[in-house]
Structure 1
Amino acid sequence: MENGILVNIFINLAISLVSLVYTITLYNKYWDCNENNRPTQVSSMMIWAMVSIFFIIDTARQLVAISGNETFQLQLYLISLVPLTLISLPIVFIVIYIVSGNRNVGIIVSSIFLLFSFLYIYTIIQMGGINFVTTSWGSLAISNNEIANTIFLSGLFIVPTSLILSLLVLILFKRIPMFRKHKICLSLISISLAYDFLILNSISQTGEMMVASKIFIFLGVVLGYLASFPPKLIESRYDPDIIVIE
């Protein structure tokens, strides 16, 4: 096994572990949230849980690729498309819910992206066009299916990313407590960072691009955790009642 593949698998496991810990921590804090914040808390749990699941499956696919079993590798790839495409749903829900304040509106709008997810997976299964290329960094899944690529980029990438960035700008100019603003903005940046590079990882044409994308995804997960659960030292700068013991 080449060193590049080992690095790839190590990063996969690191992302999976940190995302899982983040999800569990969010779950443990769920009952401490007020009623208005619980929908976004659940959506955040779904996002990071699906990131963890995706990279667990991708780790298995990378290991299978070493043996050269493309049939099993394709099966794992198709399974990984489920968490990959469904991540867009809670992302869109968070944006719509924060803007509208209406949970039902968020559910209805985000459900539209369930259709994009279904169409993308269905197109891949029916029309194929997935080729696996093994490099010194691991296995790449390269799609030559133009219809699926169009659905993926236009429906599952451009729209959710644009919504996140629009909400980020809106929050920056909104008059709310600075600490709350920083937490929300950092959370949105972490989601955007992880999601954008997750998409880039999925369409990578080289092993180097794939590994670089995963490094940024890992940074996004860590940033998200720190945004949700900032160190006491940072909290004390905004709240003088918090005492930091050195």
Structure 2
Amino acid sequence: MQHKLTNSKVLKLALASAGALLFLAPSLGANALSNSQQDGSENRDSFLVAQGNCPTRRSTVDRTFETPNYYVTICSGDSRNSLGYYVGAAKDGSGGITVPLTRRSGDRYIAANGNTIYAVTPYELRVSQNGRTILNERILAASGDDTVSARGCRNRESTFVTAETASYVISICGGDLPGSYVGESKNGNGRIRLPLQSYGRDRFAAVNGDTRYVLTRNELRVTQNGQTILRETVRNWN
């Protein structure tokens, strides 16, 4: 029993240390946030927390994201870095980091701090180190979103279903009845909107030429000329 307790304590300490390293190891090109910028109070709106985080007066807030444990701000570019900046802060106030963006691609923002890569989209925050994912958290809230990109369905449309797989978020949209299939890649690199060909209880199908998309409560399956080219389990269904 004592041995098990000791292992549990060691594991907890290791996890805590890993979490701290994510945002407290700035290298060349990255600046640690000051204490005044590390206010992690969960009672404050993430956009308000982000207002003072951009590194210079010429750099302003473009987007903000909130995960269960972090706030992320995307700041506009300035004379030092035209692409802008990624600013991450832990909600518990344990630390933060400011890193120049290396790429903007649609709704995907990427920054590099040595061998650590930060990638944020309206759906997830993913941090990898040496090619290995060390953090992956779902986005709880975002500001500055384009309405279609953030919600899938357009203004004044009804959202009948929102489903999530490992790689995609799918929305079933329409008016009084379901009418459209909207599939969005989590990495921000792709989006498709198609009229529904058919729908039934927890099953929706759309066709784009030789490609057929079928969404059920259990899986997303994409076929091309009758051959399955994608099959992913549905993780969330709302």
TM-score (norm 2): 0.26
- Determine which structure has more spread, i.e. the larger CA radius of gyration: 2
| Structure 1 or 2: more helix by fraction | 1
| Structure 1 or 2: more strand by fraction | 2
TM-score (norm 1): 0.25
Name which structure has the greater RCO, CA cutoff 8 Å, separation 6+: 1
